[in-house]
Every structure is written in structure tokens, then in C-alpha cells.
């Protein structure tokens, strides 16, 4: 069993990993919507798509870490109750968020509008919940006013992106009668 701890990352490695998340979560909504539509089932397509989201979570979030833990010789004991509880809650929140996104698409929300609200609102929720969770460790008297301005700008920016997003080209109306099927007048 290998119990050596990994060396702490230095430099900007964390930033590059963050960009992976920005990219994958940035395309998540549009891919999810496309999968829902391509299910070809207007009634149950979102639930079918969510089933495959769950399968993807299983492959990515269960099998991949299991293989990594096994390859590192990690012990499968010693999971603390607070550790697994908070991790489980986090996973549930992520799954509920994915499901809420699909429900928004099913209620005729466009990916551009839905994801603009999600990605503008999520950082604000994150900041506020972080402040609350760590309120005993923070000195609120020294919070830079730019922090509050950033929250307002995130909300305004998300609203502007949603309101002024490019719209699809309107489809030309199709008439029920073509010019070749003119009915002769009755005498």
C-alpha cells in the first residue's frame, strides 16, 4: 500500500485545470440540449438524456477515481463521515443542477438563455454560500467593495447575455396551398 502524499502543485497548474472545467461546463448545456432534442421524444427526451448523464457520471466519477485509487494503492477504509457526507451532498447538488437544466430546456428555455443564467448566477451563489460557511473565519469589515460590485456585474452580465443573445433566423412560413393547387372557381 502506497501512502505517500502527492507533492503540492505550484505555479499556475490550478489555473489550467480550471480552464478544463470552464470549457467542459461551457459546452455542457448546449450538448445536453442537443442530446435531449436528438432523442426524438418531445415528452420523455429530457429524462432519456438525463439517464445518459447519469451513466456518464458513473463512468467518469465512479470508475475513473476507483481505477486511480487502486493504481495508487489507496486504502478503502478511513472515509470520514463529514468527508463522504459533504461529497455526497455535492454530487446530489450537481445532479439536481443537471436535471434542472434539462427541465429548463423542456420548458422551452434556450441553451443560451438557460446557461447564461446558470453561469452568471452560480458564481454569485458560490460567493454568498462561501461567505456564510466561512463567516467565522472572515473579517467582513475589510471586504473590498469591488467584491460586491463583482457580484452585481456578474448578475447584470448574465442578464445582458441572455437578453441580447443572437436569435435564430426566423423560418419562412409555409402555406397550406401551393400556387400549383389553385382551386377553380365555382360557377
- Between 10 and 162, the more confident residue is 162
Q: Does pLDDT of 84 surpass 50?
A: yes
What pLDDT score was predicted for residue 187? Answer: 47
Q: Does pLDDT of 3 surpass 70?
A: no
Under the banding of pLDDT at 50, 70 and 90, the label for residue 1 is very low
Query: What value does the mean pLDDT of the chain take?
Result: 85
What pLDDT score was predicted for residue 152? Answer: 92
Segment 110-133, tens digit of pLDDT: 888 888 889 888 989 998 898 888
What pLDDT score was predicted for residue 109? Answer: 87
- Percent of the chain scoring above 90 in pLDDT: 36
Long-range contacts of 103-110 (CB under 8 A, 24+ apart): 103/46, 105/32, 105/33, 105/36, 105/46, 106/36, 106/45, 106/46, 110/165
Tell how many helices (H) and how many strands (E) occur in the chain: 6, 0
162 vs 114: CA distance, rounded Å: 8
Provide the whole-model pTM.
0.71
85 vs 91: CA distance, rounded Å: 10
Nearest to 131 by CA among 146, 119, 143: 143
88 vs 101: CA distance, rounded Å: 20
Under the banding of pLDDT at 50, 70 and 90, the label for residue 174 is confident
What DSSP letter does each residue of 55-78 carry, written as one string?
Answer: HHHHIIIIIHHHHHHHHTT--S--
Q: Does pLDDT of 173 surpass 90?
A: no
Q: Which three cell numbers stand for residue 53?
A: 448523464
Amino acid at each position: 500500500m502506497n501512502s505517500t502524499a502527492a507533492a503540492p502543485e505550484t505555479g499556475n497548474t490550478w489555473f489550467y485545470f480550471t480552464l478544463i472545467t470552464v470549457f467542459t461546463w461551457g459546452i455542457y448545456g448546449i450538448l445536453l440540449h442537443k442530446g435531449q432534442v436528438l432523442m426524438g421524444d418531445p415528452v420523455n427526451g429530457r429524462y432519456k438524456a438525463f439517464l445518459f448523464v447519469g451513466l456518464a457520471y458513473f463512468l467518469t466519477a465512479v470508475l475513473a477515481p476507483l481505477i486511480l485509487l487502486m493504481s495508487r494503492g489507496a486504502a478503502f477504509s478511513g472515509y470520514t463521515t463529514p468527508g463522504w457526507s459533504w461529497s455526497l451532498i455535492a454530487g446530489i447538488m450537481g445532479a439536481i443542477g443537471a436535471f434542472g437544466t434539462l427541465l429548463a430546456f423542456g420548458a422551452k428555455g434556450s441553451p443560451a438563455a438557460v446557461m447564461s443564467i446558470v453561469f452568471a448566477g452560480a458564481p454569485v451563489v458560490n460567493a454568498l454560500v462561501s461567505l456564510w460557511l466561512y463567516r467565522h473565519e472572515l473579517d467582513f469589515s475589510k471586504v473590498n467593495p469591488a467584491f460586491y460590485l463583482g457580484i452585481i456585474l456578474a448578475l447584470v452580465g448574465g442578464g445582458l447575455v441572455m437578453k441580447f443573445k443572437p436569435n435564430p433566423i426566423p423560418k419562412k412560413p409555409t402555406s397550406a396551398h401551393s400556387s400549383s393547387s389553385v382551386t377553380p372557381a365555382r360557377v
